[in-house]
A and B are shown apart, each in its own frame.
Chain A
Amino acid sequence: MSKNIKIPAEEVLIQVQDLGLSYGSVRAIKNITMDVARNAVTALIGPSGCGKTTFLRCFNRMHDLYPGNHYEGRIIMEGQDLLGNDVDLTELRAGIGMVFQKPTPFPMTVFDNIAYGLKLKGILNRTELTDRAEMALKHAALWDEVKDRLKSGASGLSGGQQQRLVIARALAVEPKVILFDEPTSALDPISTSKIEELIFQLKKEVTVIIVTHNMQQAARISDYTAFMYVGELIEFNETDVIFTNPNVKLTEEYVTGRFG
């Protein structure tokens, strides 16, 4: 029995092949090989320090912002190696959105937060910006709450609203993939369930990869789950299998709460 599931080729959007990341002499993650299914939610779980966030940040090359990081292996999306030297990082990051642990609205109005990414892409037409912003906000289930305060500062919104604003901002530029790095860890339970519901809805249009330390969350919203431990991928399978009938003892011990 293989510990990693093989996803049918026609459903695969991204293939991760032998991925590793080291900074200096430290190898933070190594030998990761797995597929990311298109229009599905893939969860990355594991104890603190297992490298799940480091893994996530490889997809949009966040590590390139800091000197001394070195990738190994390949991340192939539709035939293109995202780790290649020929990749335009600005374009890559616009195409692979990211939502962080804490809400990160920019110091601008609600509307400008959404419009910002679009403007970077070269959309300057006022009507189009307004339309797209409205669409993104509706998409992120935030429109009804903010439609009367589009011109006020984004910092005035509640934490949960800010996080949905950030998701709307990522959605507005129509990326193929959105990466979530523990998006609800700073939020209250009601906001959390709204975000979870939203992520669940999102997969109709985008592919989602989410890092979470909350196993129930992974079980609730993801289709596939990857369990990582000390920088390595231990097991990758359909979420049901990981949580009910894992193939590896370590995975079972983790999902049943015996360590972590």
Chain B
Amino acid sequence: MTAIPLGVPRRLVEFTLDGREARVPEGSTILDACRAAGKDIPTLCQGDTLAPKNACRVCVVEVEGARTLAPACSRKAEAGMEVRTDTERARHSRKVVLELLASSVNLSTTPRAAEWIKEYEAKPDRFGPNAARVDEEPRVDNDLYVRDYDKCILCYKCVDACGDQWQNTFAISVVGRGFDARIAVEHDAPLTDSACVYCGNCVEVCPTGALSFKSEFDMRAAGTWNEAEQTETTTVCAYCGVGCNLTLHVQDNEIVKVTSPHDNPVTHGNLCIKGRFGYQHVQNRD
């Protein structure tokens, strides 16, 4: 007998989404159904290559008959359920989540954060100027990537990418509890004294820019980072024979960042140190 179950064919689940009939394959989440229906639900800790962690609560929706709001990113669609995404209660909850996050964390490099704050009329300032913040200098302890704790929302995506979901290096974890919780390598040491293998797969999934490539970090600091002027070209890595797809982000004819398509059958968005960072040789031009 094989140890690997082949599974049964997936059926379609029918339920009601904001008063309309929705049909999604069995196993889909409410978020999948919302996106299929063209609804824009904000998400931060959700990752397309990762199992949901339900950490940020910004995607909550109301499920008829449930006492609490449900995170759309992880709650599976069930036959006959009635889901409402835009109720007063759901919107209020998202607003408070955004206020709490934006008051304690620097969301300046979080894609769409400003847009959502506006849309939900969140007022992060209402906690006053002394709201709890980490207030730390970004940690620059190697030449490849930077850790900026002021921007960390503790969503655990980096921990999952480094750990059992992809990289299986387990270099980082959550240390401390409650208000002291933070993502760190063992003994909160510099990266160069840790188990880190510099694959950058944590940077790939970070939703806020708390983890960023040093190239991007330096250019932002110098005021030269300009995404509008960047091209993104997907090609194939020049190192080993595995054939990982690389998306080269190029500005002024310099590679400034390397990512990988998350739906690629070879990489699923993951790379190793060579593919992610080993590009400098082509632009040693004089």
User: Do these two chains interact?
Assistant: no
Interface residues of A (CB under 8 A from B): none
Residues of chain B touching chain A, judged by Cβ–Cβ distance below 8 Å, are none
